Structures are given as structure tokens and as C-alpha cells.
Amino acid sequence: MTTNPAPARPLVDRFGRHISYLRISVTDRCDFRCVYCMAEDMQFLPKKEILSFAEIETIATAFVTRGVTRLRLTGGEPLVRRDIIELVRSLGRHIGHGLNELTMTTNGSQLAKHAEALVEAGMRRINVSLDTLDAERFRAITRRGRVEDVLGGIDAAQAAGLKIKINMVAMRGVNDDEIEPMMAWAHGRGMGLTLIEGMPLGEVGIDRVDSYLPLRELRDRLAKRYTLEKLDHRTGGPARYARVAETGGILGFITPMSHNFCESCNRVRLTATGQLFLCLGQEDQVSLRDALREGGAEALDAALDQAMLIKPKGHDFVIDRARPEPALGRHMSVTGG
């Protein structure tokens, strides 16, 4: 990993947390409608409100200058945005010049078409969201799409040299019976698997209370059959990792509900419209689009300072029958996964 000189003015919030990781949503659009993420009939943003690639590059450069070492492109589905490889190539020029890593989270549907170009543009690792290997169940969870397309995309990505981690949202009564087969499949192909608890964001097409599966419970279940060796391995995000001795693979747990990870939060999220959300589970935000368009680089830098002053200590998600409504009205696809 490249050792970067300390930035002159690092991004440090009022709780002393250094911000080193920026997630950039390049679009709120997606070719799936996953039941835990989006409504069946979504109202997408007008294209005129979306940041241009030049604006994204300017904002990303400002973050790298202030000490951000990891960028992740998200959506919606990032690969549905036209000419996305141009942005990847542009951001990839920062690798080795302040930026250690440029990654992406994708549903994999367009991956076969773009895998080689992503590698050529500087990407080395991606996350693929995949909640089931069963074709019929896949159609039910995504409300559209074909698992064959995603699996073909994974084949193409591995052939191109991309390292892949599978992200799986664990849902009781939906796919909890498939977690061990998914782990065996992923580890058998040299891919890590990270399990994610469902989060109460937006009105969606699933009963969150019935489907909520605490990962502590799931980890205890797995520990009865497998040897889970705790790892200090980190990838910049909130996951906690273990090595599964029987498979040799890595298993991650992201637990925003049962054990939040706010004390070590190093992340902020830029939406496709240029709103910087300081916490996935809170509404604190700063408009970097307005700052950039109205005041240029100086105003953008001042907006980053303001963001550090208002970043909250953490989120307070709850899922139970007493509070079945979502904690926030915005969908996950709006903020970026």
C-alpha cells in the first residue's frame, strides 16, 4: 500500500475521527428493485440535478487533498450510468497520489460488459451484491433481473483480474437458509462473503420486523459448525472479519442494528445530487454541489470544514413492532449503499 504524506488539513470531526473514506453515489437509478432497498415504483431524480463527472472529479480531488485515501463508487447501480468508465479512469489517476484504492459496489448485472475496462482504469477490487444463488428467489428479491447475468459478470470480473467480495443481506425467512451454501460457493471461488443486517431506510417491499436477522444470532449459529478465527483484517469499511478454518475463506459481518460501529466511523457519503451525508442513519448533510457551483474551490473547502462540525456521533436504528416505520424516509439507493 502506498504511504501518503499527511495532509496539511486533514478531515477530523468533533469526536476526533479522521475521515479517510468517501462513498460516491453516481446515480440513484438501478436496473433492479431489491425489496429491502427500493420501492416497486421509484421516482428517480431528474438528470439535470445529478452531478456531472467533472463536478464529481473536483469534489473527489478536494477530499483526497484533505486526506481521504479510499473512494468507492456506488448507486443505485453505478454501471448503469452512461460512460461510467470515463469517471473511473479520471478518478483512477489519483491512485498513488494520495489515493490508495478506488473500488465499486455493484449488483453485477452490467459487469460482464465493463469488467476489463474497470481493471484498465485502475480498479482492482469490487463488491458484488448477491443475496441468493437461486434463480427464482433472485427474481423475487430483485423484482426483476436474472441471476445468470450476475454470475456471468462475476466470471468476467475474475477473468479480468478483479478481486471480488460478495455482499449478502441476511433476511430471516427469505434467504437465511442459503447463507452456508453461499459461503461455500464464495470461498470455493476465492471470494470473501460479507453478511449485512437489514436497515430501516425508506418504505420498501418487505416486512422489516419479520425479516430482521441479528447477525450475532447468525454468527452463533455458524460457530456451532465452523471454526471462526477472529481477524484484524479491515478494508476501510465497517465490517468485522473472521477466517473460516474449514473453508479458508473470509467472512465479514456488518451490524448496524445489533452492534453499531459508529465509534470508529471514518466514512462520509456523497449523493448523486452532491449532498454530503455525514451518517447513513441521520439527516445531517451539507450541499457540496451548491458550494462548488456558487463559490468554487474555496467554498467547497469551507463546506468540508462545516461538514466535520456537524457529523453526528452515530445512528440509532431500531426495528421492532413498536416502531415498524423506517427510521428515515430516504431509500438506501438515494444515499448510496
CA distance 17 to 267: 9
Q: What angle do CA 182, 198, 248 make, to 5 degrees?
A: 30
Q: What is the pLDDT of residue 202?
A: 45
- 37 labelled binding-site residue: yes
In the numeric block, which cell numbers belong to residue 215?
447477525
Q: What is the CATH number of domain 21-335?
A: 3.20.20.70
User: Tens place of pLDDT for every residue, the chain, 337 residues?
Assistant: 455 767 779 999 999 999 999 999 999 999 998 888 877 777 788 888 899 999 999 999 999 999 999 999 999 999 999 999 999 999 999 999 999 999 999 999 999 999 999 999 999 999 999 999 999 999 999 998 899 999 999 999 999 999 999 999 999 999 999 999 999 999 999 999 999 987 654 454 555 567 788 888 999 999 999 999 999 876 666 789 999 999 999 999 988 655 555 777 899 999 999 999 998 767 789 999 999 999 999 999 999 999 999 998 865 544 444 444 544 444 455 566 5
Domain boundaries, the chain: 21-335
- 23 labelled binding-site residue: yes
- 265 labelled binding-site residue: yes
Q: What is the pLDDT of residue 207?
A: 57
Q: What is the pLDDT of residue 41?
A: 75
- 208 labelled binding-site residue: no
Pairing relation of β-strands 240-244 and 192-197? unpaired
Q: What is the pLDDT of residue 123?
A: 97
3-state secondary structure of 163: strand
- 279 labelled binding-site residue: yes
Q: How many CB atoms lie within 10 A of CB 134?
A: 15
User: Of all helices (H) and strands (E), which one includes residue 156?
Assistant: helix 147-160
- 3 labelled binding-site residue: no
- 199 labelled binding-site residue: yes
The answer to whether 168 and 194 have CB atoms below 8 angstroms apart is yes
279-298 CB burial, b ≥16 within 10 A, e <16: bbbbeebbebbebbeeeeee
Which residue do the cell numbers 477466517 mark?
A: 243
Pairing relation of β-strands 240-244 and 101-106? unpaired
- 109 labelled binding-site residue: no
CA distance 110 to 98: 29
- 268 labelled binding-site residue: yes
Q: What angle do CA 248, 254, 260 make, to 5 degrees?
A: 140
- 241 labelled binding-site residue: no
The answer to whether 156 and 193 have CB atoms below 8 angstroms apart is no
Pairing relation of β-strands 250-254 and 192-197? parallel
Pairing relation of β-strands 275-277 and 285-287? antiparallel
What is the 3 state secondary structure string of 194-230?
A: EEEECCCECCCCCCHHHHECCHHHHHHHHHCCCCEEE
- 165 labelled binding-site residue: yes
Peptide bond preceding 16 in cis form (omega within 30 of 0):
no
Structure confidence by residue, pLDDT tens digits, 230-266: 998 766 667 899 999 999 999 999 886 555 557 778 9
